[in-house]
Chain A
Amino acid sequence: MDPIRVITQNCVGCKLCVKACPYEAITLTGPLVEGRTDRNTAVIDLGKCTLCGACVEACKRYNAIVITRRTFKGQDVATYSGVAIFAEHRRGRIASVVPEIIGAARELAKQRASTVSAILVGNGVHAFTDELLSYGVDEIWMIDNPAIGDFDEDVQADLVSEILLEKKPEVFLGGGTVVGRSLLPRVAARILTGLTADCTELSIDGETQLLKQTRPAFGGNIMATILTQNHRPQMATVRHKVMTPAEKVSDPKGKVIELKHIPVPRSKLEFLEFVEEKSATINLVEADVIVSGGRGIKDPKNFSLIEKLALATGGAVGASRAAVDAGWIPYSHQVGQTGKTVKPTVYIACGISGAIQHLAGMKASDMIIAINSDPNAPIFDVAHYGIVGDLFQVVPELIKRLEAGA
């Protein structure tokens, strides 16, 4: 039997599935709809279908499309409980995404009436336990061992896997950071469970009690909600700066559990050095204000104007792909689908038209201000405030006002 089928007697030929299919795999070329002479039923081209389920969702009213799954045997779901998070850290600091994941985890744990645990592995990591506990973590599962280097990601993946197998949380979350998005896939492939990348929304489904993992795809043009039904833990990485950070608790009651019996393997990775990118305006992901320049900047030396505005706002400098591809500014400044995803409090787009791939990287910003000479530029569709005008006049005026204390 094919994994996806059209139940012809239920199909009314409404075309909703045809529209919903992202892969153009459905046509209305089947037998006639019952009782009609002018409408045909849907047919799915199995060569094009990826079994994404969009049509099933679209056809909810008629239930004419079904997907049959016979997923390989999962874990014994009932023996898993609690929400765990990966306490990412590097060079003596807990990653700034961690309080956000704990915030999300606490919400989920509340809905499941369970607990939040943090997995903390590394060298000297007991130094982080007070901070983690202050965010309301119930337990810290810790392996503190001088043999675990900050950059020994393979060893860390190994230890995280072992801890998950032993402690059996039903949900495991990590940051949508470079390390999170490298370590968690390795862990998921090791312990054979599902992992959803870069989620922007997490909740517990009221009916099934499963973790609903919602994430953007196609550069943010489509949102998908994903479930991991038969495998545990249900794993997800969480996009930075989307979830509300956990509030600190006044008297932390959580405890630290050391897992000394888990052996620390040798790393195959050899860390040589870390080179910090010194530029004060570079850490886009953390910035509260970002001032970005695009094609409208016209010349590399005009980027100094963007830098000046960034300085006046205390913000970071971003750029569209057009500006980076033109060689006006390094790639590390690029915001968008093939660059960085940012979510500052204020995003100021100067001379950026607002191509879809740029919007994908910044449209979650709390407030977007656009400055563009073209009143029809798509950037104005997502901007909360827009100024139609020549950026070479508007930006200096804005700098002047800000410096004057506006």
Chain B
Amino acid sequence: MKVFVCIKQVPDTTNVRINPETNTLVREGVQSIINPFDVYALEEAVRLKEKHGGTVTVITMGPPQAESALRDAIALGADNAYLVSDRAFAGADTLATAYALSCAVRKLGGADIILMGRQAIDGDTGQVGPGVAENLGISHITDIRKIEEITDSRIVVERLLEEGYARIATRLPVVLTVVKEINNPRLPSLKGKLAAKKAEIALLKAADIEADVQRLGLNGSPTQVMKIFTPARPSGGKKFTGEPAVTVGALLSELTTAGISIRKSGK
């Protein structure tokens, strides 16, 4: 089975802090990591390989430094890694990104299953997975919390929805985006780390993936960022300190004044 994982290198936003004076992001010391949701996708891919055989190929589109994310992916069990990187890709929105990734997958011979995280933690869009599937003309299912089984190219999955989950089956090939409930990713093994060090990361440029240059990067992106700003920082409200009986009383009377009841109605 040929499993592809599309990953993205992102700033570790859990370490991002706001500078209260300038109201901007403090970037010093912020590391680049594999998008956490993609780590679950990669783990699931490695588990599929362990169960069904085959290969795990990781691809990322990004600047040259995204190569380190691919090495991390090899340390976590991927067999091959491709860096899709070219000046022509810069400024890509989700439409252009999905197009470029689908060209790369096609160029690499296609996949049975393409896995990715439900969204990247920097852009938070979750639009690339469905876009890749559409470009390849194959099915997609988002927010997968479990791959139940794969038999004779039929796959059964559980998809997390707002009020429960749906069990859905489809034929391969398919694009699946995963939620973190799907597994507990392993840590890199020593063997994996060594492999990561030695691995050859192949570079795919725009010409290599036989893409229509008009559809790449900024030129291939219908959306355009008009403005970026930091949201107004909330100033904090009233704080009560003291004995619980006093503080709770103070809180409840404030709420009453504000016309808000937190008591279950109809009781």
Chain A residues within 8 Å of B, Cβ to Cβ: 3, 19-20, 22, 24, 46-54, 57, 67, 69-72, 74, 90, 151, 153-154, 177-179, 181-186, 188-190, 192-198, 212, 216-231, 268-277, 283, 285-286, 289, 311-315, 331-332, 337-338, 345-346, 348, 355-357, 363, 367, 369, 375, 380-390, 393-394, 396-398, 401-402, 405-406
Contact = CB atoms under 8 A, between A and B. Distances in A.
B67 interface: no
A48 B64 CA distance: 9
A69 B65 CA distance: 25
Contacts of A385: 237-240, 251, 254-255
A211 to B, nearest CB: 11
Contact of A269 (B25, B122, B139): B139
Interface string B108-150: 0000000000000111111111110111000111110000000
A376 B206 CA distance: 51
Contacts of B223: 194-196, 226-228
B227 interface: yes
A182 to B, nearest CB: 4
B161 A178 contact: yes
A314 to B, nearest CB: 3
Nearest to A215: B124
Interface string B137-167: 0011111000000000000100111111111
B225 A224 contact: yes
A267 to B, nearest CB: 9
Contacts, number: 324
Contact of B224 (A49, A69, A151, A197): A69
Given A217-B122, A219-B124, A193 B133 contact: no
Contacts of B265: 314
Contact of B126 (A185, A274, A375): A185
**Nearest 4 A/B pairs, CB to CB:** A51-B91, A194-B222, A314-B264, A194-B223
A219 B238 contact: no
Contacts of B156: 272
B40 to A, nearest CB: 10
Interface of B: 11, 13-14, 16-18, 22, 24-25, 27, 36-37, 63-65, 87, 90-91, 93-95, 98-99, 121-131, 133-135, 139-143, 156, 159-171, 179-181, 214-215, 217-231, 233-242, 244-245, 247-249, 251-252, 254-255, 258, 260, 262-265
> For chain A, what secondary structure do more than half of its interface residues adopt (helix, strand, loop), or is it mixed?
mixed
Given A179-B161, A277-B164, 4 more contacts: A24-B27, A57-B228, A182-B130, A386-B240
A283 B249 CA distance: 29
Contacts of B140: 182, 186
By DSSP majority rule, is chain B's interface helix, strand, loop, or mixed?
mixed
A382 B234 contact: yes
A338 B166 contact: no
A173 to B, nearest CB: 15
B176 to A, nearest CB: 11
Given A268-B139, A313-B263, A383-B237, A389 B244 contact: yes
A177 B163 CA distance: 11
A274 B158 CA distance: 9
B166 A273 contact: yes
A338 B240 contact: no
A361 B168 CA distance: 28
A71 B227 contact: no
A269 B166 CA distance: 12
21 contacts: A46-B87, A47-B63, A47-B64, A51-B218, A69-B224, A74-B222, A151-B166, A194-B223, A197-B126, A216-B124, A217-B122, A221-B13, A221-B18, A268-B139, A271-B167, A272-B168, A274-B167, A275-B165, A277-B164, A385-B237, A402-B263
